[in-house]
Structure 1
């Protein structure tokens, strides 16, 4: 694995995330990925070899193991971690796409032609929706996998002994799971960290939506105040054009300069992505 590329992706995700997103990223890659790589695989490496049943009937042990372990914990966690980290990489790809568009636009019209994005990494327009959808997707993936784990392994724990009557076992036999206490500890640790990640995603989602609502309310209040100071602007034929320009500047820039009725914008580049 090329760790320099991996480090670049992580730094990009960390750069375009909020404070809650940075905490989520640290939790995922320190307490979930590293624990998975360092310890979890070793704990479950001998689960099939040390799964013993009190019978010598050929094929009985394999049938019982498949009944109680239809999917390995390690493989489920690997799939979960892959799916839960992909949306963050989509945000980085969206920012790279905006930077490429801005560079191409600058090469076409020159520096005096304005900007498509004053700050490509600012969560405005399509990038805001990409980030919000990534939060919903990550929380949904963790929730689905927690439900799957609970369905396969009730209460997320493994008993030291299970009874099996699957064919070709001659009768009900007792099978013993290797190191159940150690496996239960790591399983509960991964479950708790997944729950914390879900809560962080929901808190970040509420923060982003609340911040956007407050910005929209402040923009409406500013327009109402502006119309009170300039009553002639309400009946001005340029009202619709100025409102449209204000909305576009609000989506694409960090600051929102007021639009005066006697100084209409000559040209505003509309962009959403």
Structure 2
């Protein structure tokens, strides 16, 4: 999230009192600048892939997955492919009623189970009256507390130099750039780069780069690109190496993930 972007508080429909809904379709390349909401929000993509960026991390949200963003939490959204969004806004007073929702103050992605999907989509169904939809929103919040996190977050260092170096990887997908070139871009020695990176990002640069490649592959998976082509594009040694790395992070193979299936138990403790 670049510093010059102005934070905005985006308008929200408040016609439902403690909760509101918003359906939007965005073209690929759309960027919603840094903003925040008075409400907590669950953002669900029925189609497409979005990238949500906060001051400390980035979350890639593939189709049929969802992201919870707490109230007053600055974030920007970049639409990576044509996306249909369904957003449910929950006022803090409503979220507080679900006291066991332990992650209500954390940004986190979740696997959208069939129940979560039906609850979200049902809120846009005019056939349900307001009291029924109120119960659906409450059930949705209670369901989230039992839903494992999806480890599609990428922690980002705070230093401007380190972020500038990482842009070479994230924007140009130059995954095999040698460390000394990245350190030079950050105006640091190799040793200082690795030390500061680990201190600020919470994991080693090597582990971060591997994680970043896997997360970058989610958009390619959603586009229907073959696994072999994705492995080549992201400079893995082989398709087998990509599949093994993908499984290590997300608990399933790329094709299983693409089909919307997921082993929830494999990622239950993956979020830091």
In the superposition, the TM-score normalised over structure 1's length comes to 0.23
If each structure's strand is expressed as a fraction of its own residues, which one has the higher value?
Answer: 2
If each structure's helix is expressed as a fraction of its own residues, which one has the higher value?
Answer: 1
In the superposition, the TM-score normalised over structure 2's length comes to 0.23
